[in-house]
A and B are shown apart, each in its own frame.
Chain A
Amino acid sequence: MVMLQAAVMDFSRSDAPPDDDALVLRARNGDRDAFGELVNRHQRRVWMVCRQYVGVDEADAAAQDSLVKAFTRIGDFDRRAAFSTWLTRIAINTCLDGLRKQRREGVIADNCEDQERAGVLAQVPDGQAGPETRFQQRQAVDNLRDREQELPPKQREIFRLRFYAEMELEEIAQILDIHVGTVKTQLHRAVHRLRGELGAYR
């Protein structure tokens, strides 16, 4: 009885933030504040996913496109997957559509990472490390980025979704429409290969 009362009290707490599903329901009815809260919760991950597919220069625009699309199509969200999963799928599709369009128009360079190489490194947080250590750290990160680029596409995609977009294995499987066992295998191969190539980190 005490447990039941506690559960009821906990359930009725008004200060608990609404979950994604509740916000989605409100957003479906045109509540822009509710959608604003969903943006607030998920924009970081959406940007990080877009960053992996289209590079840093296009990531912001792609993330914004993805989130606006999510709002206009929110009636299609059937709650079979989590909202974050559905949103990530939209972000990936938006990026792939953009890449296809750019490729058709002959705009895209195959390696988005090349564009950012020079500018980004200067922004890496230095912490308390000395100049030599900082240099080594940057070089190691630079090496990791280069080796990532050489991974087979599917391994690279899974590696980045796992570590940079911080997605669970099951969620990656759902988004890429592959078996979770395949995700595990590809991720293991990617990490194993990178560790092998970055010998100092074995």
Chain B
Amino acid sequence: MNTHLDEHQITAAVAGLELEPEAEEHLVSCLSCRQRVAAFKDLIDARGEQMAAEMPDWDRQQAEILLQLPKSLTGRPAKTRRWTRALFAAAAAVLVAVGLEFMWSPAPMGEPVVELEVPIEQILAEVDAALADDSLPGFESIDPGVDDPKSYFENGAS
């Protein structure tokens, strides 16, 4: 590359951006182009030095910072603490919601309550009558080998 760098290439060199290999090569060998780059860099450096003159006393600043630090830090990372807090908050909210639901909800919806068509007294009377009647035909047919259930119980039990 024999020609000098153009304005954009000089700008890129000042900014510290990548140059094409040919341009880079030229910059290394060309004093004129290097001076153009350096002129603006020097100006920026001068501005940086101007600001450096305003810098505070670092030891004093460090001492002041250390004085402002809180006495202690909790060992666990703050992020974990935040997650834990959020988790507890969510769990508490769920518990409260479940409790409220339990307190205010109507009777369980599981099985519908069926109105009895026959009064309960009548049912009980029928059951009592059935129990009082000991001539239940069903028993005889269950065990046809035993003719007299009474004798069965007497023999078998003793």
Contact = CB atoms under 8 A, between A and B. Distances in A.
Interface in A25-82: 28-30, 32, 35-36, 39-40, 43-44, 47-48, 51, 56, 59-60, 63-64, 67-68, 71-76, 78
Interface stretch (B55-63, B101-109, B146-154): B55-63
Interface string B28-71: 00000000100110011011111101111010011011101110
Most chain A beta-carbon contacts within 10 A, residue among B10, B15, B40, B44: B15
A200 to B, nearest CB: 8
A39 B65 contact: yes
A115 to B, nearest CB: 12
Interface residues of B, number: 43
Interface string B89-125: 0000000000000000000000000000000000000
Contacts of A164: 47-48, 51
Per DSSP, chain A at the interface is helix
B77 A28 contact: yes
How many chain A residues sit at the interface, stated as a range, is: 35 or more
A75 B14 contact: no
A187 interface: yes
A141 B47 contact: yes
Interface of A: 28-30, 32, 35-36, 39-40, 43-44, 47-48, 51, 56, 59-60, 63-64, 67-68, 71-76, 78, 116, 120-121, 123-125, 137, 140-141, 144-145, 162-164, 169, 184, 187-188, 190-192, 194-195, 198, 201-202
Interface of B: 7-8, 10-12, 14-17, 36, 39-40, 43-44, 46-51, 53-56, 58, 61-62, 64-66, 68-70, 72-81
